[in-house]
Structure 1
Amino acid sequence: MPVIHVPLSGGPAAVAYDRTGTGPGVVLVHGTGATRAQWLPLTDAVADRFTVVAPDYSGSGDTTDHGGPLTLTDLADEVLAAADHAGLDRFHLVGHSLGAAIATHLAAHRPERVRSLVLHAGWVHTDTRLRAEFTHWLDLLRTDAAHGTAHFARMLPLAAFGPRYWARTDTAANEELVRALATTLAPGVARQTEVDLSVDLRPLLGRVTAPTLVLASAHDRIIGADQQRALLTGIRDSRYQEIDAGHGAPGEDPAGFAALIAGFLDERRAAEAAADAPGVPVGPGVAARA
């Protein structure tokens, strides 16, 4: 497990990441409360043709840091540092939820590094409704920490999963999931939720130049359709796709989620190869918005 030391606004971090496979680089950025293990199904699906780098950012997994407040810039710096340490010059970038916000921030500030961008369950700005959502999360997390309860873990399936999950589960299975979530949530989930509260990408969207897939969940109870429309409007070279799942699509439908992203990555790889091939004209119509 490689580790890279990264200076942050509050002090240093030792960022752990996985590097798997061979080929063009893909960097994967997990969501709030998750770890790089979130990406194992996608890694398995593409590691035969891509070099996959999946870091734990601060508050998650094997990464350690100063323990204080974090910023979106801090987390983007950690992701870029992992890509640098893994030897990736340019790379495809995939983010889920907070990871999508981190990926958008990175793509806006370092456009020359990002080949393409996949944003699942991302958002542009923490508006009043999202602020209420994340504040509720923090209240639950503080109550759990004070009283040994599992209110946050119990809320997660309700907020994150769509109808297909509820149709195929029962009370016992859902209770088992709640118990598992209570013991596996990242220890820094509250610190990461504070970053969720701070997201405002509105000044940055026009700086994103990478071809972008805005991947929405049809039954997302956390991120509304208005946020997806704002991403599509603000990012010039963007397109839309939907998955029949809730906000937590990586856990609800891991195979389907991985297949959609792998399809986009393969398409971008083929487009780049065609553009680089001798005798292939490159003009305004090449790799245009779908």
Structure 2
Amino acid sequence: MPKLQANGIELFYDIQGTGEPLLLIPGFACDYAHWDLLMPSLVAQYQVIRLDNRGIGQSSAPDSPYSIKQMADDTAILLEHIGVSRIHVAGHSMGGQIAQELALAHPEKLHSLILLATFASCDRRFCSIIETLGDLPRILDPEAYFYVVLPWAVSEDFYATPGAIEAALKFQMEYPFPPTPQGLYHQSRAIINSDTLDRLPQISCPTLVLVSQQDILTPLKFSQELAQGIPNAELVILKRGGHDFLIDAPDAVATAMLNFLAKRTK
């Protein structure tokens, strides 16, 4: 799998499929593999580019402050490196924050924007949760941390699915590139310190805002704020899945994404 030097770090990326390019940016504590359940549907129609943000997976995790703008710059360097001049961009949670900054800094590069379970500005409750999730890896072992995070991430249906929690835990514990405490800490602070609310009207590309009505971490009001702030944005509310509907309701997410992209694909 390829890496490049970007902004003083090694940045890991993966490219699969053919067609118009589609960039997938993962969220907090998640690397490129977090999109795996959507990949068969997306790769069938698009050239899908994924990356590990700084602080996670196979990219560098320096023990120094990160910012969302910095991670958007990392992503822009990746697009330059692989020779992509115009692209569809989708970001989940923190990845949606990065996608917003990318759209604001490089409007000429974005053909369309998909913001999944994300926000422009966090309120005090959300900031407190993310601050705690950034602090806990320094004092909890990985299995305990998994059980703390899971209720914020998935829906009641996921809990009710036989074997789902056990399979998710097995994947987490056996994954060869686990997150580091310092990477999670610095990602969490980048999330808290980002705010695009006043700049949303500057986003000029076609935009889909996608959220689940069961999302308790980034609730519907955050997505409504995005859709109201971005000119002509389309808001789609799924009935299935929680915050992490990439694993909780991947088919519904892929369908919503493909329906939106079909209207913007040559």
The TM-score with structure 2 as length reference comes to 0.91
What are the equivalent positions in structure 2 for 1:141-180 lying under 5 Å apart? 141-144=137-140, 148=141, 150-169=143-162, 174-175=165-166, 177-178=168-169, 180=171
Cα-to-partner distance string for 1:114-134 (whole Å, 9 max, x where unaligned): 010000011111221111111
Q: Cα offset for 1:65?
A: 5.0
Aligned mate of 1:105, from 101, 115, 122: 101
Cα gap change, 1:39/1:177 in structure 2, threshold over 3 Å: closer, same or farther? closer
SS at match of 2:64: coil
Cα-to-partner distance string for 1:189-237 (whole Å, 9 max, x where unaligned): 2221111111211132111001110001111110122211110111002
Instruction: Please tell me whether the aligned partners of residues 70 and 195 of structure 1 are also in contact (alpha carbons under 8 angstroms).
Output: yes
Alpha-carbon distance between aligned partners in 2 of 1:6 and 1:140, rounded to the nearest angstrom: 29
Alpha-carbon distance between aligned partners in 2 of 1:226 and 1:256, rounded to the nearest angstrom: 21
Partner of 1:227: 222
Cα-to-partner distance string for 1:37-92 (whole Å, 9 max, x where unaligned): 11223332122332211111101121125332111111101111122222210000
Q: Cα offset for 1:149?
A: 6.2
Aligned mate of 1:96, from 92, 95, 99: 92
Alpha-carbon distance between aligned partners in 2 of 1:39 and 1:162, rounded to the nearest angstrom: 18
Amino acid in structure 2 at the alignment position of 1:6: A
What are the equivalent positions in structure 2 for 1:215-254 lying under 5 Å apart? 215-243=210-238, 244-254=240-250
Alpha-carbon distance between aligned partners in 1 of 2:40 and 2:74, rounded to the nearest angstrom: 23
Cα-to-partner distance string for 1:17-52 (whole Å, 9 max, x where unaligned): 011122211111001111111122333212233221
Cα gap change, 1:159/1:182 in structure 2, threshold over 3 Å: closer, same or farther? farther
Q: Cα offset for 1:186?
A: 2.4
Instruction: Please tell me whether the aligned partners of residues 246 and 253 of structure 2 are also in contact (alpha carbons under 8 angstroms).
Output: yes
Alpha-carbon distance between aligned partners in 2 of 1:178 and 1:190, rounded to the nearest angstrom: 21
Alpha-carbon distance between aligned partners in 2 of 1:253 and 1:49, rounded to the nearest angstrom: 20
What are the equivalent positions in structure 2 for 1:39-50 lying under 5 Å apart? 39-50=35-46
The TM-score with structure 1 as length reference comes to 0.84
Partner of 1:255: 251
Alpha-carbon distance between aligned partners in 1 of 2:152 and 2:179, rounded to the nearest angstrom: 18
Partner of 1:57: 53
**Runs of at least 4 residues off by over 6 Å:** none
SS at match of 1:63: coil
Amino acid in structure 2 at the alignment position of 1:28: L
Is it true that 1:4 corresponds to 2:13 in the alignment? no
SS at match of 1:246: coil
Query: How many positions carry a matched residue from both structures?
Result: 261
Alpha-carbon distance between aligned partners in 2 of 1:26 and 1:160, rounded to the nearest angstrom: 24
Amino acid in structure 1 at the alignment position of 2:179: A
